[in-house]
Amino acid sequence: MKALFTILLLSFGKLMLAQNSCVIIGKVVNDNGKVIELVNISINKQAPVFSNKYGEFNCKLNKESYYSVTARHLAYNGYFTQFNTGNKDTFYLKIVLKEKVNMLEDITIVSTNKPETLVGKPDYSIYDFDFFEDKLILLTAKKSLQKAEVKLADYSGKIYSTHILPTEAGEAKAFFHDYLGYTMVICKDSVFRLEVINDLIIANGVSKQQFENSVQPVKDTANNNLYYSNQFEEYPLFNYNYFSFDNPENRKILNTVTDPQLMDMYRMEYYFLPPRARLEVNRIARELKVDKAVVAAIMSGFTKSMFYQPLYAPMFIIKDTICVFNHHSNYIYHYSNKNKLIDSVEIKYHHPKNWKTWKKQLYFDEAECKVYALYKNGPNVQLKRINYLNGKVEGSYKFLNPSATQIKIKDGYAYYIYRPFESTQEKFLYRESLRMSQEK
């Protein structure tokens, strides 16, 4: 009888699971009805699926009141829609993509490019922003980020909803865009993952330890692999690692980043300490099971000195190539989708004549598959486009508004926060079209 009850219970559970799921069956075509393969399709921010050679795809999801769909392909404009299945168990979806019109590149522009004000109000400032489908998510405050608000807006400045962050979370710091596509708010004492449902913002609390250990280190996912780094800002060496979702225990090193000269200085700090301090360093290192050089460099204050700079070597997955921009070895390393080294190309853009102008910041425009480097000379802000295949500078763009901050690149536009000098205006969100000019 007990066995029979167990079987009935399992059968009932499977029946309930089936009733609470919906199968989406779709097809992707262009304006002429021709099928498109390898289109990246994401529904309700679930792991993406790809259309096959017949343009078809399908996925099984939990039943929701509505679904949001994004479709991306390098040769076509982005696609976004929302729909309701009407509680159906199976829903058929047709996606029609419009082909991109290729424009000429690398020409000198002489016409005026006027900055466009997107969002700005006199009663609050914008401190950070992120992109959500066809809208913007804003981190705002009237006087202090101790009382921050998150707003959902469109590109014309219309505010759809506002969510007030709890004061118990501590001062809001910044947004973080995770590898699943979610916007997260980092506060002094808490972390929140933002979701948008029917144009309403919902903030869900996330364990800070979980965020720091399992979310923040992850750089991207591709080819059934997850890529992450073990970077510790106060140590001049780290690895880019990866593992397959099919075998998460088998973790491998993709690329090692280090600064040999800085590492030598780092390790010498231990020998500069007096004998009693060395004994204390050894004790702490044994208790924490870490390298004594790390404890010594932190204890001596070396990692906070002008001689120490955290390593900067970002990784981007561009098309099907994994690119590590290792500024400390002066090379871009290219890896295949099988994580095999293809080649390496020398780079020099991070060694300008005035070395202070290079700000150790690269931006990747995912839609355009282009990489930009940031330079600042006083209040003047400039971007240079870097060819990720050969490491050469292809062109440059100087911002019309000086002292632009929180720069982000999307679809050929530079978005940034700016408040005019000696103005009573609050911090507004602007954008400028990146019309590159040839390097002189």
- The CATH H-level superfamily of 2-97 is Carboxypeptidase-like, regulatory domain (2.60.40.1120)
**Mean pLDDT of all residues in 286-304:** 91
The domain segmentation of the chain, as residue ranges, is: 2-97, 116-250+311-433, 261-304
Asked whether the predicted pLDDT for residue 17 surpasses 60, the reply is no
Candidate from 38-52, 119-133, 420-434 with smallest mean pLDDT: 38-52
Asked whether the predicted pLDDT for residue 439 surpasses 90, the reply is no
* Token duo for residue 319: 């098309």
| C-alpha to C-alpha distances, 423 to 49, 415, 418, nearest whole angstrom | 48, 20, 11
CATH of 116-250+311-433 among 2.70.98, 3.40.50, 2.120.10, 2.40.50:
2.120.10
**Mean pLDDT of all residues in 283-296:** 91
Contact at 8 Å (CB) between 157 and 138? Answer: no
**Mean pLDDT of all residues in 356-369:** 94
**Mean pLDDT of all residues in 145-166:** 94
Contact at 8 Å (CB) between 398 and 416? Answer: no
